[in-house]
Amino acid sequence: MTKQNNSGQNNYGQNTQLVHGGINRTQFDETAETLYLTSGYVYGSAEEAEAAFDESIDRFVYSRYGNPTVEVLQQRMAELEGAEACLATGTGMAAIFAAMACQLSVGDRVVASRALFGACHAILTKILPKWGVDVELVDGRELSAWQEALSRPCKIVFLETPSNPTLQLVDLAKVSELAHQAGARVVVDNVFATPILQRPLLFGADIICYSATKHIDGQGRVLGGFVLGSEGFIKNELMPFYRQTGATISSFNAWVLLKSLETLPLRVDAQTKTAYKIAQMLDSHEAVLSVSYPGLPSHPQYELAKKQMSDFGSLIAFEVKGEKDGAFRFLNSLSLILISNNLGDSKSLACHPSSTTHMNIGPEERDKLDIKDGHIRLSVGLEDCDDLIKDLRQALDIIA
Ligand SMILES: *Cc1c(COP(=O)(O)O)cnc(C)c1O
């Protein structure tokens, strides 16, 4: 169901749009977005029910397919991304899986960058091959690797930039061009960059996925996800798959995310400013062997980062002295920054990827991805920058 609202055709700026976009007030003229906590809908007559099912009228039928609160969220997200349409899902993984599975059949080829979130890696290397999909992983930084893999026909190119956990970049414009020549659609996991700092559609990508659990909620409360793309793709390909397989988000979680979108630009901006200062501090500390942050000129893809991102985000990867032992002693010495595998939160969170989020891919694959035993992934939150720097310094001094 797509209901007319008061914000669709205007030219408001991003902040305004994230506060008002998609809103659809009831007869009570409430200020805030309405939470429709209902699984189903009733009909005035048997004829109306029949018309709803044969789609001769456009109305809500069942909340697995659509819900008015979820609808407002989808519209607001589509406006933010500059996409024609959006579907919200229960988790980020539900979004990514549905976006690919709805397009694939036995014998199709997928080419993906190797540097991926752990669960995305598992979908590509364990689940899809079992169903007869041929998957090839490439070093996403190397255009020649993309060129070679895309010299044969391909259905989907899947990539993440910057990547989890070591913040490697993929050239969105060049890879999209190669993908389209091979007949593929480009699906981008844009979680690390957020919709505020990077708009892959502008560089030729076709389908954008998010885990809303990360920066979009950003306050550690609910899981959620989004798929964004053309109206034809969302309506005719994704929607039939989504309706039958049940990737739906609960309306309560959608309502929480609606309120989160109001403050997303403010939070991402504050986190990014702090992350830049922290990256500089880490770069100069003797206990740190290397820092990967796209905003540092020492990042090998700094020029590409400036081209396709408006700013460089809240995530930093760095390698400390002493390998796993050094990394564990560092983590255990933190007092303000929390140990957690989540990210994008208002609380700063640190984790050791090789023993947690990237444990299952094994040592050989970690080697290929440059994930070292001394690597820490830091998600910078909303605390005072000085407090975070003090905490990091004292923990680094212990292992220096
Ligand atoms: C967390 C995350 C996901 C998965 O999202 P969930 O909401 O946990 O299902 C996918 N990709 C990236 C890059 C992530 O950080």
* 242 and 182, same domain (yes or no): no
* 97 and 159, same domain (yes or no): yes
Q: Is residue 218 part of a domain?
A: no
Domain total in the chain? 3
Which domain does 326 fall in, by range?
264-399
* 162 preceded by a cis bond (ω within 30 of 0): yes
* 301 and 340, same domain (yes or no): yes
Min mean pLDDT across 53-57, 115-119, 389-393 is at 115-119
**pLDDT tens digits along 171-209:** 999 999 999 999 999 999 999 999 999 999 999 999 999
The answer, yes or no, to whether residue 7 has pLDDT greater than 60, is: no
Q: What is the pLDDT confidence band of residue 14, given thresholds at 50, 70 and 90?
A: very high
Q: Is 121 touching ligand 1 by the criterion CB < 6 Å?
A: no
Which residue from 68, 21, 14, 19 is spatially nearest to 40, judged by alpha carbons?
68
Q: Is 244 helix (H, G, I), strand (E, B) or coil?
A: helix
* 246 and 306, same domain (yes or no): no
Q: Is 92 touching ligand 1 by the criterion CB < 6 Å?
A: yes
Residue 20, pLDDT score: 95
| Whole-Å CA distances, 399 to 134, 331, 335, 394, 396 | 45, 10, 15, 9, 5
Strands 185-189 and 207-211: what pairing?
Answer: parallel
Q: Is 344 touching ligand 1 by the criterion CB < 6 Å?
A: no
- Report angle CA 148, 154, 160 to the nearest 5 degrees: 80
Residue 169, pLDDT score: 98
Residue 2, pLDDT score: 38
Q: Is 209 touching ligand 1 by the criterion CB < 6 Å?
A: no
Q: Is residue 224 part of a domain?
A: no
Q: Is residue 16 part of a domain?
A: yes
* 135 and 251, same domain (yes or no): no
* 367 and 388, same domain (yes or no): yes
Read off the CATH number of the domain in which 303 is found: 3.90.1150.10
Q: What is the mean pLDDT of residues 94-109?
A: 98
* 272 and 255, same domain (yes or no): no
The answer, yes or no, to whether residue 232 has pLDDT greater than 70, is: yes
Residue 9, pLDDT score: 54
Q: Is 95 touching ligand 1 by the criterion CB < 6 Å?
A: no
| Cβ proximity of 313 and 162 under 8 Å | yes
Please give the distance, rounded to the nearest whole angstrom, from the Cα atom of residue 28 to the centre of ligand 1: 37
What is the pTM for the complete model shown? Answer: 0.95
* 280 and 203, same domain (yes or no): no
Q: Of all protein residues, whose CA lies closest to atom 4 belonging to ligand 1?
A: 92
Q: Is residue 223 part of a domain?
A: no
Read off the CATH number of the domain in which 78 is found: 3.40.640.10
* 324 and 254, same domain (yes or no): no
Q: Is residue 225 part of a domain?
A: no
* 153 and 57, same domain (yes or no): no
| Cβ proximity of 170 and 289 under 8 Å | no
Distance CA 201, CA 176 (A): 10
The answer, yes or no, to whether residue 4 has pLDDT greater than 70, is: no
Distance CA 188, CA 205 (A): 7
Residues 6 or more apart whose CB falls under 8 angstroms from that of 253 comprise 90, 222, 223, 224
Which residue from 329, 91, 116 is spatially nearest to 217, judged by alpha carbons?
91
The answer, yes or no, to whether residue 8 has pLDDT greater than 60, is: no
Q: Is residue 332 part of a domain?
A: yes
Q: Is residue 113 part of a domain?
A: yes
* 270 and 355, same domain (yes or no): yes
Q: Is 93 touching ligand 1 by the criterion CB < 6 Å?
A: yes
Task: Let me know if 286 is exposed, middle or buried by CB neighbors in 10 A (0-12, 13-18, 19+).
Answer: exposed
Torsion 66-69-73-75 (CA) sign: positive
Distance CA 282, CA 357 (A): 22
The answer, yes or no, to whether residue 6 has pLDDT greater than 60, is: no
Q: Is residue 219 part of a domain?
A: no
**pLDDT tens digits along 241-291:** 999 999 999 999 999 999 999 999 999 999 999 999 999 999 999 999 999
* 102 and 175, same domain (yes or no): yes
The tokens of 244 are what? 């039958």
| Whole-Å CA distances, 251 to 96, 143, 188, 227, 355 | 20, 42, 25, 17, 35
DSSP 6-40: SSTT----HHHHHHHTT----TT--SSPP----SB
Indicate which atom in ligand 1 lies nearest the CA of residue 342. 1
The answer, yes or no, to whether residue 1 has pLDDT greater than 70, is: no
Q: Of all protein residues, whose CA lies closest to atom 11 belonging to ligand 1?
A: 117
